[in-house]
Amino acid sequence: MSSIWKYKYFVDVIENRSFTKAGNINYVSQTAISQNISSLEKMAGGKLVNRGKGEVVPTELGQIVYRRAKQMLEIEARMEREIEQFRDREVTYIGIDSAINKKMWMTYEQVYDPNFLRVGEKMECYNLDNKIGGKMLKNHELDVFIGYGNQSLEEEAGITSEYLTGSPLGVYVGKNTTIPYGPLRLDDLRGHRCYMASSYCCSEQEEARSRLEDGEDGCRFIEVKNVETMKLKVEFNDAFAFVDSRYFWCGDGEIRPLAGYERECGIRLYYSQASEKKNVYKFIRILKDKMKE
């Protein structure tokens, strides 16, 4: 037991002039109170209380211990209040996958401005590559990461993953593409290269790949390092990529609807189960509600 409790028991005995009342206040037995007072007396080197006329009164030494014990308890209470205030105003760090476009950032601002900024609660948001965001979350440099499927985070003990929103799969093409204009079907993509990035899971469509690779006019599927490279390859090589039709961050290309191949691109929330920051759970709750509107 922390020694601070000994001082609290002693203060309660003096202020209530009773071992029994001090025990009732602290939900412990009178014996426990007596044992702790005896321990204090040994430490102080003398008697701290006198029992007489049905009341407990402090000795001269006891008055010194009582006065300093009160100060110690007040300091501890002040420290607890300051810690709680610190937790309430501490910065919450949010990461958003760099493959996600401004629609998500606008939603973030609609959540942050009225619910956090206006009441003085600090939050910082960063635009991050999926792999970097995952690494920062595992290293406790982020409190929340918003992104597409991240296998390393899914397998990380202590990290929670929640579904946030989903959109139909689309096809990303360059402005000068020879791929037909308008809604597309898989067969319209034959004869073109398809670029994929392992950090952007919805670009890796195994079923579509198996249907498009066959034949003389089959597609060539090429994996690249990251999403930015994937976009550049698509735009400069008359190629395409499978993307989130609503939230994918376009470069100079455009996104075409894909018919006859119903797949959803899901965006997820990742956060640590052990987070003690109240604003983490507040932010997640409000953001999820906002996405449903």
CATH code for position 101: 3.40.190.290
Are 98 and 234 part of one and the same domain? yes
**How far apart, in Å, are the Cα atoms of 82 and each of 12, 79, 89, 94, 243?**
24, 5, 11, 25, 48
> Given pLDDT bands bounded at 50, 70 and 90, which one contains residue 290?
very high
Are 206 and 266 part of one and the same domain? yes
CA distance 170 to 11: 71
* Nearest Cα to Cα of residue 44 among 78, 69, 15: 69
Q: What is the pLDDT of residues 176-198, one digit of tens each?
A: 999 998 899 999 999 999 999 98
Select from 62, 88, 114 the last residue of a domain: 88
Are 195 and 232 part of one and the same domain? yes
What pLDDT does residue 208 have? 95
Select from 88, 104, 122 the last residue of a domain: 88
Select from 32, 58, 88 the last residue of a domain: 88
Mean pLDDT of 114-131: 91
Are 37 and 101 part of one and the same domain? no
| CA geometry: angle 105, 111, 114, nearest 5 deg | 130
Are 219 and 288 part of one and the same domain? yes
Whole domain around residue 106: which residue ranges? 92-293
Look at the chain and report how many structural domains it folds into: 2
Are 111 and 255 part of one and the same domain? yes
Determine contact, residues 252/142, Cβ cutoff 8 Å: no
Q: What is the pLDDT of residues 194-216, one digit of tens each?
A: 999 988 999 999 999 999 998 88
Tokens for 196?
Answer: 């994929």
- Give the largest CA-CA distance in the chain: 107
| Percent of all residues in the chain with a pLDDT value above 90, rounded to a whole number | 69
Q: What is the pLDDT of residues 27-41, one digit of tens each?
A: 899 899 999 999 999
CATH number at residue 31: 1.10.10.10
- Least confident range from 5-14, 139-148, 171-180, 271-280: namely 271-280
Are 155 and 230 part of one and the same domain? yes
Strand ranges (E), the chain: 49-52, 55-58, 92-97, 123-128, 144-147, 159-173, 193-197, 220-224, 240-244, 254-257, 264-272
